A and B are shown apart, each in its own frame.
Chain A
Amino acid sequence: MRYVAPASVAEVVALLAGDPEARVFAGATDLVPQMRAGRPEPSVAIDLKKIPRLTGVSLTDGTWRIGAAAPTADLTGNAALAADLPGLVYAGGLIGSDQIQNRATLGGNLCNASPAADSVPSLVVNDAQAVVAGPGGELTVRVIDIPSGPGRTSLQPGEFVVEFLIDRPLPSTSDAYLRLIPRTEMDIAIVGAAARVSLDGDGNCSSAAIALAAVAPTVVLVPAAAEALVGGPISDDVLATVAAACAEAADPIDDKRGTVAYRRQVAGVLAKRAVLEAAGRAGNGGGR
């Protein structure tokens, strides 16, 4: 295995185009354990962390740009970002441990394509776009369209994620992410739920998005839950409908981490709680 650390997106594109066995990596917090567990090594391991564009976090013209290889520690340490997107930042702060978060990235979390990835539901409810570079140049793709199954993405050979674009939330809007792990940290979600809620001047929900992790082969958006929320106050009845919609939308498996019945029930519970948390912040004006 050869290690290279290019300084530009163009160099990475060229390296990938020249060697189908070459692979990019960001924090390598998934890659290294996978190689230790016996997964074949790539011919060339391309380190994305030396490209400034991929490690930056900035707000320009009302849009947050988060480099695909920016350490999540730079998200949790960014007060302005945390005020705008508290659910996403919180999710980034759940990955691994403090040490791991000095390496771990949103790009890696997305492209490792674990159904349990903590940051992906928050990217999805905030309708994040991913800038993807490849042999054909750069294009912008909705984050929800990237995971295609456990360990699989829709990225084509030679493509990689450069950065994420997220519009600043409207006033009285906020997001939240909750996950169920048996421990308190250093664990992987049995179920995760992200919510983004906007409130109008009367306290009624004007828009919403709910996404679930670890309950299907990929992150799941639950439009039925959003529809139940929009147009009225967030009452216990509405929350019960949200929970039921999420339990219904969940399509989990029985495995060593949990059962189908457990994941369905807890998906509803966490979605309900995430909505309440997001709505609570939105009611206080959100991040604006």
Chain B
Amino acid sequence: MTITEQRPSYRYVGTRPVRHDGLDKVVGKARYAADLVLPGMLYGHILRSPHAHARIVDIDTSVAEAMPGVRAVITGADFPDLPADDPERNMTRNLMARDKVLYEGHAVAAVAAATRRQARDAAEAIEVTYEVLPHTLDILEAMEPGAPLLHDDILTTGLDSEPSEPSNVANRTCYERGDIEQGFASADVVVEGEFLTKPIHQGYIEPHACVADTGQDGKTVIWCSSQGHFRVRSQTAAMLGWDTSRIKVIPAEIGGGFGGKTTIYLEPLAVELSARAGRPVKMVMSRDEVFRATGPTPGSVIRVKLGATGDGRITAAKAWLAYESGAFPGVWAMLGCMCVVSPYNVENFLIEGFEVVVNKPVNAAYRAPSAPMAAFATDTLVDEIARRLDMDPIDLRLLNCPSAGDQAPYGPKWPLIGLRECLEAIRDSEHYRSAPAAGHGRGVASGFWFNIGEASSATVNLNENGTATVVTGSPDIGGSRASMALMAAEELGIDVHAIQPVVGDTEVVGFTDVTEGSRATFATGMAVVEACRDLKGQLRGRAARMWDCDVEDVEWADGRATHSGGEHEPLALADITAEAGRTGGPLGATASLNARGAGPAFSVQVTDVSVDDETGRVTVERYTTAQDAGTAIHPDYVEGQMQGGVVQGIGWALNEEYIHDADGVMENPGFLDYRIPVASDLPMIETIIVEVPNPNHPYGVRGVGEVGIVPPLPALANAIHDATDARIRELPMSPPRVLAAINSGNGA
């Protein structure tokens, strides 16, 4: 079901053609990085730290180097040590430890050998002498004075006065407005709580993989799957101390990223091993390595207090958020602060966030990073207000709903946003209008994610037969080839399957930022449209030459050039490309831009659950999500993103968690005990695409990739409360935790 605001009618945009890359993916023909085999290729293997925190006293590689098949062995000492102020320094020290290991799984050395087994055996023969150090795994414990320090140079930024002693708290973020004391004083209802979440992995099915082939000319070619091959190039260059022009990155198909493939783990190691061995080197992570060494999203401790008047107006919000960023600082607390009360207009608030390092893997982005944990706190408490006031939870949210011109908590004025429309879409849905089945509990929640623009490039070439090739620098993670082709089809007026969308490598297309912040269809799509509009100008010029008339007399519409005076028969695009050789040569255009004006995304969701009150097992019985897509270019993939976000949120809410033992060793580094949902765990996720077009995009696109994962945590917590009366404020809401909450009469 789609709810559409007033918008122009399109011929291709908004249709659901078969995706261009679909057949290859369905029949198993699509090539992922791990599929590539080159002549003479070696296999790389990484030796990882068994300790959560230890000083590296010595690394002896001599035995490993002498083992059969071994062609190269590297350690941190084989890479330049970047200066303390280099923004990529932490990345390089995550890819290969120097001085200290900071988490179990931290890379210490790597080997390239003729077979996988030889590489593994040699890596295990490397003798590392560690001095084990005390470690810290818990956010609150790590924040305490006297906690084991991961780094001796972290001085908390953002405090009122600069601290004199290092700590594990990297920074403090603060947003403040109004008079919070007065805000709570004017409230008739005050609710508060502390909410706990564990680190969660993105759970992409394809492990990280790459092949690097470094030549004697000092140049290298990397094949890898990533969310942005230009960032692979720049990060690899930074770690190697190379100029980027020595590195070419060819994107492979990607088997899921969800933010986790916006950074690198393997590529500089493979390049260096390849350089030393003089052979191509392939590195493929095991699932175990993916869990132990690649980026989860942070665990968190979030305390929120909300006040509201008796008629439901939220008067004050106080939020204290601490995010663990793993072994190196990130931006996670700041992002959480930006999202924590954004679906509400609140005049008085104090939001304070802390970024805390702990001895766990370094966090990476995960789908609306930091927003779901913040929403878990806020939208659970909003549900409590609704119950205290005996108000409908949607009505309460509508009453406090921001719209264009209101000031967002993190500063800017809201542009045109579709939160109200999403709330109304859920309120009016068949799901919400029908009562939950007997024994089922219902929960509602909303979520926000700001989305971003950034740099994108596109090249569009017209072929002599009137078809077009659209080359972009954005890997196709969620159906972006089809979306690019649809926008090009709309512009050029030719069939979507007359367009071949291509993901170009770092040397065939202009710079394009990594796919993050739901930006590909928005920003790269904008570049495609701009290039197509350039081409339409060129097509008019060519028609004018063919007709020997002024270009001003040529109009382009519906894929045809028409003469304003009607003196010539219209020329289809193929008529013009066929004559291109005589009218000025091939037709092509390139656009590179910094996309501005990304449209904020909102989602509102409702779910019904049943809870086995003797085992604590939760079954998601029904789920409906409404999300503002701006304009859905290819509705199938918009719905897919909406459903995917919800499903990952359900996994996070109910069963997923990193489990570490007391020594900081991960106990569940596999899909058996790290429980992402399976298909039979889920009901059909019903979707309502809301379209409030983004005025800053030629087709009104907002990013759709992320916000869907934000509401499920509180929606399910609220539904479980409705079914059992237990308020659970710690994730996951796994059977043992739910049963304990039911047994104690209240989970809070």
Residue interface bits A178-192, CB-to-B below 8 A is 1, else 0:
001011111110100
A270 to B614, CA, bound (A): 9
B586 close to chain A: CB less than 8 A: no
A269 to B742, CA, bound (A): 15
A265 to B743, CA, bound (A): 11
A265 to B739, CA, bound (A): 10
Q: Are B614 and A187 in contact (CB under 8 A)?
A: no
Residue among B654, B736, B739 with the highest chain A CB neighbour number at 10 A: B736
A188 to B615, CA, bound (A): 16
Given A183-B681, A184-B680, A259:B736 Cβ within 8 A:
yes
Q: Are A262 and B678 in contact (CB under 8 A)?
A: no
Given A180-B617, A256-B668, A186:B678 Cβ within 8 A:
yes
Q: Are A256 and B659 in contact (CB under 8 A)?
A: yes
Residue among A36, A180, A190 with the highest chain B CB neighbour number at 10 A: A180
Q: Determine the residue in chain A with the shortest Cβ distance to B735.
A: A182
Residue interface bits B560-588, CB-to-A below 8 A is 1, else 0:
00000000000000000000000000000
A36 to B678, CA, bound (A): 23
B675 close to chain A: CB less than 8 A: yes
Find chain B residues with CB under 8 A from A185 CB. Answer: 678, 680
- Near A by CB (< 8 A), chain B positions 648-664 give 654-655, 659
Q: Are A183 and B739 in contact (CB under 8 A)?
A: no
Given A37-B288, A185-B678, A269-B615, A180:B673 Cβ within 8 A:
no
- Near A by CB (< 8 A), chain B positions 702-748 give 734-736, 739-740, 743
B27 close to chain A: CB less than 8 A: no
Q: Determine the residue in chain A with the shortest Cβ distance to B673.
A: A256
Find chain B residues with CB under 8 A from A184 CB. Answer: 678, 680-681
Given A256-B659, A269-B615, A180:B680 Cβ within 8 A:
no
Find chain A residues with CB under 8 A from B677 CB. Answer: 183
A52 close to chain B: CB less than 8 A: no
Q: Are B681 and A180 in contact (CB under 8 A)?
A: no
B667 close to chain A: CB less than 8 A: yes
Q: How far is the CB of B284 from chain A (nearest CB, A)?
A: 13
Given A184-B680, A265-B739, A257:B673 Cβ within 8 A:
yes
Q: How far is the CB of B615 from chain A (nearest CB, A)?
A: 5
B84 close to chain A: CB less than 8 A: no
Q: Determine the residue in chain A with the shortest Cβ distance to B651.
A: A183
A77 close to chain B: CB less than 8 A: no
Find chain B residues with CB under 8 A from A265 CB. Answer: 739, 743
Q: Are B655 and A183 in contact (CB under 8 A)?
A: yes
Q: Are A187 and B675 in contact (CB under 8 A)?
A: yes
Find chain B residues with CB under 8 A from A180 CB. Answer: 615, 617, 735
A249 close to chain B: CB less than 8 A: no
Q: How far is the CB of B435 from chain A (nearest CB, A)?
A: 26
Q: How far is the CB of A200 from chain B (nearest CB, A)?
A: 29
A116 to B659, CA, bound (A): 20
B26 close to chain A: CB less than 8 A: no
- Near A by CB (< 8 A), chain B positions 609-634 give 614-617
Q: Determine the residue in chain A with the shortest Cβ distance to B674.
A: A256
Find chain A residues with CB under 8 A from B671 CB. Answer: 186
Residue among B734, B735, B740 with the highest chain A CB neighbour number at 10 A: B735
A190 to B672, CA, bound (A): 12
Find chain A residues with CB under 8 A from B673 CB. Answer: 188, 256-257
Find chain B residues with CB under 8 A from A261 CB. Answer: 740
A250 to B680, CA, bound (A): 30
A274 close to chain B: CB less than 8 A: no
Q: Determine the residue in chain A with the shortest Cβ distance to B657.
A: A256
A257 to B736, CA, bound (A): 9
Find chain A residues with CB under 8 A from B659 CB. Answer: 256
Find chain A residues with CB under 8 A from B616 CB. Answer: 262
A132 close to chain B: CB less than 8 A: no
Residue interface bits A243-257, CB-to-B below 8 A is 1, else 0:
000000000000011
A231 close to chain B: CB less than 8 A: no
Residue among B614, B667, B677, B681 with the highest chain A CB neighbour number at 10 A: B614
Q: How far is the CB of A229 from chain B (nearest CB, A)?
A: 19
Find chain A residues with CB under 8 A from B668 CB. Answer: 256
Q: Are B678 and A183 in contact (CB under 8 A)?
A: yes
Find chain B residues with CB under 8 A from A257 CB. Answer: 673
Find chain B residues with CB under 8 A from A183 CB. Answer: 655, 675, 677-678, 680-681
A157 close to chain B: CB less than 8 A: no
Q: Determine the residue in chain B with the shortest Cβ distance to A186.
A: B678
Q: How far is the CB of A184 from chain B (nearest CB, A)?
A: 4
Given A37-B288, A182-B654, A256-B659, A187:B672 Cβ within 8 A:
yes
Find chain A residues with CB under 8 A from B672 CB. Answer: 186-188
A70 close to chain B: CB less than 8 A: no
Q: Are A182 and B740 in contact (CB under 8 A)?
A: no
Q: Determine the residue in chain B with the shortest Cβ distance to A258.
A: B736
Q: Are A266 and B655 in contact (CB under 8 A)?
A: no
Find chain A residues with CB under 8 A from B654 CB. Answer: 182
Q: Are A182 and B615 in contact (CB under 8 A)?
A: no
- Near B by CB (< 8 A), chain A positions 186-241 give 186-188, 190
Residue interface bits A19-54, CB-to-B below 8 A is 1, else 0:
000000000000000001100000000000000000
Residue interface bits B659-697, CB-to-A below 8 A is 1, else 0:
100000001100111010110110000000000000000
Q: Determine the residue in chain B with the shortest Cβ distance to A273.
A: B614
Q: Determine the residue in chain B with the shortest Cβ distance to A254.
A: B736
Q: Are B617 and A182 in contact (CB under 8 A)?
A: yes
A190 to B677, CA, bound (A): 17
Within the complex, which residue of B286, B288, B615 is in contact with A266, where a contact is CB–CB below 8 Å? B615
A42 to B312, CA, bound (A): 69
Given A184-B678, A185-B680, A187-B675, A262:B655 Cβ within 8 A:
no
Q: How far is the CB of B98 from chain A (nearest CB, A)?
A: 27
Find chain B residues with CB under 8 A from A256 CB. Answer: 659, 667-668, 673
Within the complex, which residue of A36, A37, A182, A188 is in contact with B655, where a contact is CB–CB below 8 Å? A182
Q: Determine the residue in chain B with the shortest Cβ distance to A37.
A: B288
Residue among A187, A258, A261 with the highest chain B CB neighbour number at 10 A: A187
A134 to B116, CA, bound (A): 37
Q: Are A262 and B735 in contact (CB under 8 A)?
A: yes
Q: How far is the CB of B170 from chain A (nearest CB, A)?
A: 30
Within the complex, which residue of B286, B288, B614 is in contact with A269, where a contact is CB–CB below 8 Å? B614
Residue interface bits B184-216, CB-to-A below 8 A is 1, else 0:
000000000000000000000000000000000
Q: List 10 A-B contacts (CB under 8 A).
A: A36-B286, A180-B617, A180-B735, A182-B735, A183-B655, A184-B680, A186-B672, A190-B736, A258-B735, A262-B616
B interface residues (Cβ-Cβ under 8 A, vs A): 286, 288, 614-617, 654-655, 659, 667-668, 671-673, 675, 677-678, 680-681, 734-736, 739-740, 743
* 11 additional A-B residue pairs with CB within 8 Å, beyond A183-B680, A256-B659, A256-B673: A36-B286, A182-B617, A183-B678, A185-B678, A187-B675, A188-B673, A262-B616, A266-B614, A269-B614, A269-B615, A270-B615
